């Protein structure tokens, strides 16, 4: 190998290392921003569409406490989001601990330039791989595509407005390949459909979506665990 090619190879390796380090910096900065939200209460509207069962829009309050406590209190009833199903928070779609972050180009989402970063957790957990579409100007996530051990592939799409500075979305849509999905009983309490939806005979996972529209947030008020331990 000539000196010229050796020099070019060295430049490529240095560029890749710098790019990887820069991707890591962006990821950690974004995650640090999210970690500043210790808890919140939000007025929400929820639309659920799972396995061809369409449920009328639900209104209520959503309670969140770091790192993963979440509870939906429906107007006129109580609905506890199932623990074994996906936590509807973009923060929990980002791996904890140390990660390897790689640049994967750019893409335009809703007219905004998004930098794509692939994140591989170094610790073994539920998340195998996260792919993030990041608005670097506002430092928010516009989309996530996460491969998990328990829920399969989960895609989140986010839109922002009044709470962009805090990194909290105005609207969040979760798209899933559903495996033995169980709907919150409080959401389905007015219907005869079973809350547990069986896997189809062909064995293929079903498609499902949950859309949350956040109308108003109250942030970092010091929610206690009692809020999440209430019985229906």
CB of 68 within 8 A of CB of 57?
A: no
Phi, psi dihedral angles at 229 (to 5 degrees): -100, 0
Least trusted range by pLDDT, from 3-7, 41-45, 124-128, 171-175: 3-7
Residue 20 — pLDDT band, cuts 50, 70, 90?
Answer: very low
Which of 46, 51, 82 is CA-nearest to residue 182? 82
Residue-range domains of the chain with CATH: 3-223 (2.50.20)
Residue 79 — pLDDT band, cuts 50, 70, 90?
Answer: low
Count the Cβ atoms, other than its own, within 10 Å of residue 209.
Answer: 15
pLDDT at 58: 84
63: three-class secondary structure by DSSP: strand
Phi, psi dihedral angles at 200 (to 5 degrees): -65, 160
For residue 53, the cross-strand partners are 50
Q: Does residue 2 or residue 109 have the better pLDDT? A: 109
Q: What is the pLDDT of residues 28-54, one digit of tens each?
A: 999 999 999 999 999 999 888 876 666
pLDDT at 53: 63
User: What is the pTM (predicted TM-score) of this model?
Assistant: 0.76
Q: What is the pLDDT of residues 108-164, one digit of tens each?
A: 999 999 999 999 998 888 888 999 999 999 999 999 998 888 777 888 999 999 999
64: three-class secondary structure by DSSP: strand
Q: Tell me: pLDDT of 83 over 50.
A: no
pLDDT at 140: 95
- 91-106 burial code (b ≥16 CB/10 A, e <16): bbbbbeeebebbeeee
For residues 68-80, average pLDDT: 73
């Amino acid at each position: 190998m000539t000196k010229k090619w050796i020099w070019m190879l060295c430049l490529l390796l240095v560029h890749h290392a710098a790019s990887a380090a820069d991707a890591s910096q962006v990821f950690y900065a974004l995650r640090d921003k999210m970690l500043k939200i210790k808890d919140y209460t939000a007025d929400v509207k929820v639309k659920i569409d799972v396995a061809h069962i369409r449920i009328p829009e639900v209104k209520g309050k959503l309670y969140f406490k770091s790192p993963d406590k979440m509870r939906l209190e429906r107007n006129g009833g109580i609905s506890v989001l199932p623990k074994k199903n996906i936590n509807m928070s973009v923060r929990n779609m980002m791996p904890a601990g140390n990660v390897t972050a790689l640049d994967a180009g750019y893409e335009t989402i809703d007219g905004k330039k998004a930098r794509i970063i692939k994140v591989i957790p170094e610790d073994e957990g539920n998340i195998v791989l996260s792919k993030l579409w990041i608005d670097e100007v506002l430092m928010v996530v516009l989309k996530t595509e996460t491969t998990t051990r328990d829920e399969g592939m989960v895609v989140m799409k986010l839109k922002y407005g009044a709470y962009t500075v805090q990194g909290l979305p105005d609207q969040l849509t979760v798209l899933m390949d559903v495996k033995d999905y169980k709907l919150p009983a409080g959401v389905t309490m007015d219907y005869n459909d079973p809350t547990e939806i069986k896997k189809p005979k062909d064995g293929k996972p079903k498609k499902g979506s949950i859309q949350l529209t956040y109308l108003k947030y109250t942030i970092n008020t010091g929610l206690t665990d009692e809020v999440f331990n209430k019985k229906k």
